Amino acid sequence: MNPYLDPSPEVAAALSEGRPVVALESTIISHGMPYPRNVETAMKVEAEVRAHGAVPATIAVLGGRLKAGLSPDQITGLGKSGLAVAKASRRDLPRLVAEAADGATTVAATMIIAALAGIRVFATGGIGGVHRGAERSWDVSADLEELARTEVAVVCAGAKAILDLGLTLEYLETKGVPVIGYRTLEFPAFYTSGSGLALEERAEDAAGIARRAKAKWDLGLGGGIVVANPVPEEFSMERVAIGTAIEAALAEAAAAGVRGKDVTPYLLAKVKELTAGESLESNIALVLNNARLAAAIAVEYSRL
């Protein structure tokens, strides 16, 4: 066990006994939603994982320790602190550990800590990707590089719709990362169930996804897997309307000079404002949906 890693007693027991565990990120708590909806949603996501047969392990850095499994008080603390908590990706982990600081983990950092703990399945909202205009800015999320190197299956509703989804899929293909559509051959676009972009792989059940993950890692191929799970149809937003809101948010971000890791939380907040809160409800629904599927995959993977 890594000397900087603190699995919670519940998570440690589950891992030692070979029971299914699902990793959950913490930037969705601190940077993804306003308080108290962020804390309420985090608790519901953990409950959803439990209800479907797995142990939840919300991941963060607290006092320089890599935490795999948070208490309700720790989750509440992250939710109340909000944007004051550092947004932690791969490059930030050494500083946070060395300075005994706190950090809410992105997809990339959550994958790293999950892998250190021995957790193979992770549920999130949407992965990061290639930003629009990346040919000028070179703004590509560290999530994609982490997917290329770290052996964790990431269940998501596609990449965040504010990104260039076509280039994100191209990047993943180049890095050899399988993108498996759950009962779909169309890449979901976070707030909407489809993007118009075709996928090569489809799986009809959690067992099929677990078998593919095991085969990839048994072959020594390394790297992660993207499980693209569309937002439930009743919460899927109208594609033109959300597209209009995203374009307006991008224009405002450019005018305000927002760059780097501040772009995603800024755009998500602006889209929420422009859609009168509808995007937040869609976001919550898709995270819960991903938690259910991730738990089912973790259960099947533990049986292998």
* Residue 80: both structure tokens together: 């109340």
Tell whether the torsion through CA atoms of 61, 287, 294 and 11 is positive or negative.
positive
Residue 144 near residue 160 (C-beta atoms within 8 A): no
Chain center to CA of 182: 16
Tell which residue, 108, 99, 112, 102, has the closest CA to residue 80: 102
Angle value at C-alpha 125, between 181 and 253, nearest 5 degrees: 115
Maximum C-alpha span of the chain: 53
Cα separation of 249 and 267, whole Å? 6
Is 25 catalytic? The answer is yes
CB atoms within 10 A of CB 63: 12
In this structure, are strands 103-105 and 55-62 parallel, antiparallel, or unpaired? antiparallel
Answer yes or no: 160 catalytic.
yes
Helix 37-51 vs helix 278-303: angle between axes, to the nearest 10 degrees? Answer: 30
Candidate list 160, 216, 261, 270, residue with the active-site label? 160
Positions annotated as catalytic residues are 25, 160
